[in-house]
Amino acid sequence: MIHHSAAWAALDAHKSEVPHMRELFAGDTERFSRFSLQDCGLLVDYSKHRITRKTMELLCALAREAGLEAQRAAMFEGQHINSTEDRAVLHTALRAPSDARIYV
């Protein structure tokens, strides 16, 4: 289970190192631009969460340890990753262009 992994333990230990929000903003004048994304008129601002660059690195390590990249690839390939129903998931079909090939 992922919550027994080394990456999880590192993230759990890190949480006590993350300072208060006031300190995070005071210590980083670029915090908003560093921890936000904007595209197609949509703004995702996660700068107001208690995260640091190290937090993001640890979250990425957790995703790698969990095999997220392989699971994402399996989803796009139409593999049966819905283990409770033994079938492919069709999340990508909902967002694909009308001429895209969907694998089921």
Residue 41 has a CB neighbour count (10 Å cut-off) of 5
**Boundaries of domain holding 15:** 2-66
Predicted confidence at residue 44, as pLDDT, reads 98
Are 75 and 56 within one domain?
no
Predicted confidence at residue 79, as pLDDT, reads 84
Predicted confidence at residue 99, as pLDDT, reads 83
Are 9 and 57 within one domain?
yes
Predicted confidence at residue 26, as pLDDT, reads 97
Are 24 and 6 within one domain?
yes
Are 18 and 51 within one domain?
yes
Q: Label residue 78 left, alpha or beta by phi (over 0 means left) and psi (-120 to 50 means alpha).
A: left
Predicted confidence at residue 97, as pLDDT, reads 81
pTM (two decimals): 0.78
Residues in CB range of 18: below 8 A, 6 or more apart:
24, 50, 51, 52, 55
Predicted confidence at residue 37, as pLDDT, reads 97
Are 33 and 79 within one domain?
no
Are 15 and 52 within one domain?
yes
Are 52 and 14 within one domain?
yes
Number of domains present in the structure of the chain: 2
Residue 79 phi, psi dihedral angles, 5° rounding: -70, 155
Residues of the chain with pLDDT under 50: none
Per-residue pLDDT tens digits for 79-102: 888 888 888 787 777 777 878 777
Are 59 and 31 within one domain?
yes
Predicted confidence at residue 104, as pLDDT, reads 65
Handedness of CA 54, 57, 58, 59 (dihedral sign): positive
Are 57 and 23 within one domain?
yes
